[in-house]
């Protein structure tokens, strides 16, 4: 299928770029670990594990924001986006390829971040890890979409958090809920629903972001 091939090629391009330039991932890693250290001192000693669980989600959302903010920078600098839009492929493939690459960076950052969190604060249960995986999908779907919009505006980096955070509130609610309650099924189900709905909306409307 050409669509899958296109998406694969685009995602591969971003991963190769990152492998050679190493712009984004080290920054995300450093950022997330530094955030944990800040959180450690922000939490008064003797605070409950519940508070730390909440802060894990803050760290994840902000780290993702960092990655998403960088996602379309190469396209902007070299005017690659114009070429991609002219290429004979479905425009939503641009979003999907970029989303997959962003997801890979975020997942790589979390592979380090979650054990560090467990080391600094408290162990993580399976529900939290599942919620993180589900949240990553939603964050990357929505974040990549908004990143493509923000990069085309004058305000750029300033705008992305403003656009992204209100949309990330449901993710945080689902994620925090899943990590603190005894039976997280409903919260995980909600995250699946969020991912499905917003992935569909982004996929269907990305064309209008890159064309006039």
Q: Which stretches of the chain bind other proteins, using CB under 8 A?
A: 149, 152-155, 159, 162-163, 165-167, 169-170, 173-174, 176-177, 180-181, 186-187, 190, 193-194, 197-198, 201, 205, 208-209, 211-212
Kindly tell me which of 129 and 193 has the beta carbon lying closer to other proteins: 193
Q: Which helix (H) or strand (E) holds 123?
A: none
Residue 127 beta carbon to other proteins: minimum distance, rounded to whole angstroms: 12
What are the CA-CA distances from residue 156 to residues 4, 34, 150, 161 (Å)?
Answer: 30, 24, 5, 10
Kindly tell me which of 30 and 169 has the beta carbon lying closer to other proteins: 169
Kindly tell me which of 2 and 153 has the beta carbon lying closer to other proteins: 153
DSSP category for residue 90:
-
Pair 92, 206: CB distance under 8 Å: yes
d(CA 67, CA 45): 31
Residue 86 beta carbon to other proteins: minimum distance, rounded to whole angstroms: 16
Kindly tell me which of 109 and 140 has the beta carbon lying closer to other proteins: 140
Which long-range contacts (C-beta less than 8 Å, at least 24 apart) are formed by 52-56? Answer: 52/117, 52/121, 52/122, 53/122, 53/128, 53/176, 53/179, 53/180, 54/176, 54/180, 56/117, 56/121, 56/124, 56/128, 56/179
Residue 143 beta carbon to other proteins: minimum distance, rounded to whole angstroms: 13
CA nearest neighbour of 53 among 103, 143, 109, 114? 114
Residue 155 beta carbon to other proteins: minimum distance, rounded to whole angstroms: 4
Residue 129 beta carbon to other proteins: minimum distance, rounded to whole angstroms: 18
Kindly tell me which of 8 and 54 has the beta carbon lying closer to other proteins: 54
């Amino acid at each position: 299928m050409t669509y899958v091939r296109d998406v694969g090629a685009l995602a591969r391009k971003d991963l190769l770029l990152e492998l050679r330039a190493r712009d984004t991932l080290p920054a995300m890693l450093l950022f997330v670990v530094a955030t944990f250290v800040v959180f450690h001192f922000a939490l008064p000693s003797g605070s409950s594990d519940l508070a730390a669980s909440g802060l894990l989600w803050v760290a994840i959302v902000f780290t993702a924001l960092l990655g998403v903010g960088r996602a379309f920078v190469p396209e902007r600098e070299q005017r690659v986006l114009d070429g991609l839009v002219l290429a004979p492929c479905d425009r939503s493939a641009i979003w999907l390829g970029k989303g997959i690459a962003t997801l890979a960076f975020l997942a790589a950052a979390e592979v380090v971040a979650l054990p560090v969190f467990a080391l600094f604060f408290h162990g993580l249960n399976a529900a939290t890890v599942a919620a993180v995986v589900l949240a990553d999908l939603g964050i990357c779907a929505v974040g990549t979409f908004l990143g493509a919009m923000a990069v085309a505006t004058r305000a750029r980096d300033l705008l992305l958090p403003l656009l992204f955070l209100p949309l990330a509130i449901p993710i945080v609610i689902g994620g925090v809920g899943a990590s603190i309650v005894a039976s997280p099924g409903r919260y995980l189900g909600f995250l699946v629903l969020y991912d499905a709905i917003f992935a569909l909306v982004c996929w269907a409307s990305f064309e209008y972001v890159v064309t006039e």
